[in-house]
A = this chain, B = another copy of it.
Amino acid sequence: MSPEDHLKLENQICFPLYVTSRLLTRAYQPLLAELGITYPQYLVLLVLWEQDGLKVSAISEKLFLNSNTLTPLLKRMEQLNLLTRVRSKEDERQVDITLTEKGKLMQKSAKCIPENLLKTIKLPAEELIQFKATLHKLLTTLEEADKE
Contacts and interface: CB of A to CB of B under 8 A. Distances in A.
Contacts of A90: none
Interface string A1-36: 001101111011111111111111111100000000
A134 interface: yes
B146 A7 contact: no
Copies in the complex: 2
A47 to B, nearest CB: 6
Contact of A128 (B9, B13, B121): B13
A15 B64 CA distance: 11
A81 interface: no
Interface residues of A, number: 62
Given A6-B115, A13-B128, A107-B7, A23 B134 contact: no
Interface in A35-68: 39, 43, 46-47, 49-50, 62-64
Interface in A91-133: 107, 110-115, 117-118, 120-123, 127-128, 130-132
A143 B24 CA distance: 9
Given A3-B114, A7-B110, A11-B114, 9 more contacts: A7-B114, A15-B46, A17-B17, A19-B63, A20-B135, A26-B142, A27-B142, A123-B141, A127-B137
Interface of A: 3-4, 6-9, 11-28, 39, 43, 46-47, 49-50, 62-64, 107, 110-115, 117-118, 120-123, 127-128, 130-132, 134-139, 141-143, 145-146
